[in-house]
Amino acid sequence: MSERAGAKEEILGRIRAALRDAPESSPIPRAYRRTSEETMEARITQFAEMASDYRAHVRLITSSAQLQATIEQACRERSARRIVIPADLPQEWRPKGLELLVDENLPHESLNDVDGVVTACAIVVAQTGTIILDGGFAQGRRAITLIPDYHLCIVFADQIVGLVPEAITELRTARQSTHRPITFISGPSATSDIELSRVEGVHGPRTLEIVIVTEPRTSASI
């Protein structure tokens, strides 16, 4: 224990000695873009383009009433029969005719045995095609969007912001989730480690599918 306390004091001491003659640091200029002025339509289009760029399959629907059918169809196309869902995924979205596993702290091996996972998300960044999960409504814990090989993610149009700074701000202010585990997803996993030829899908879901609901969110909990 005393060695530990010694280390901290010594390091702090070294830092203070090192900086004794340091000049004052100047104010931080933030002249970069922090807000975007695009319309929602433009943001949807941009996000859809970015997502297709990294070969995520994107579907657009006009109302959350279509979600259940859309999810069913997506799973059918993929021959997915066993899907894990977070406990708070709304009933009216849940696909029928499939085996649904509600995640209540399932062991990792069970999560490995499913064909896919369906969740909502927190925020989406149009410029970079990034989906952000913060463990909020209908997202579940991180393991369920990590282990299954197929992730279908539901995005509401008014969750899409233009720029990264807007997302960072919203996580801190509107969502107040910065103390929670957060994941930024911008495509299925990829590696260019073998002769620099890009191979998609190493760990993490190798297929990412996105359903964008163009009507604004009606539920306050999302």
For the segment 82-101, give every residue that binds another protein (CB under 8 A).
none
Residue 216 is given by DSSP the state P
* Residue 116 interacts with another protein (CB under 8 A): yes or no: no
Is 1 near another protein (CB under 8 A)?
no
Judge residue 44's burial from the number of C-beta atoms within 10 Å of its C-beta, 0-12 exposed, 13-18 middle, 19 or more buried.
buried
Q: Is 196 in the site for another protein (CB under 8 A)?
A: yes
* Residue corresponding to tokens 């900086």: 19
State which of positions 23-82 bind another protein (CB under 8 A): 24-34, 50, 54
Pick the binder of another protein from 100, 201, 214, 217 (CB under 8 A).
201
- Residue showing tokens 């359903």: 211
- Return the residue of 90, 113, 115, 165 that touches another protein, per CB under 8 A: 165
Q: Is 175 in the site for another protein (CB under 8 A)?
A: no
Query: What is the smallest separation between the CB atom of 12 and another protein, expressed in angstroms?
Result: 5
Three-state helix/strand/coil letters over 113-142: CCCEEEECCCEEECCCCEEEECCCCCCCCH
Residue 187 · residue 199 · CB < 8 Å: no
Containing H/E element for 89? Answer: none
Does the footprint of another protein cover residue 178 (CB under 8 A)? yes
> Contacting another protein (CB under 8 A), which of 171, 210, 213, 222?
171
Q: Which of 2, 18, 91, 92 binds another protein (CB under 8 A)?
A: 18
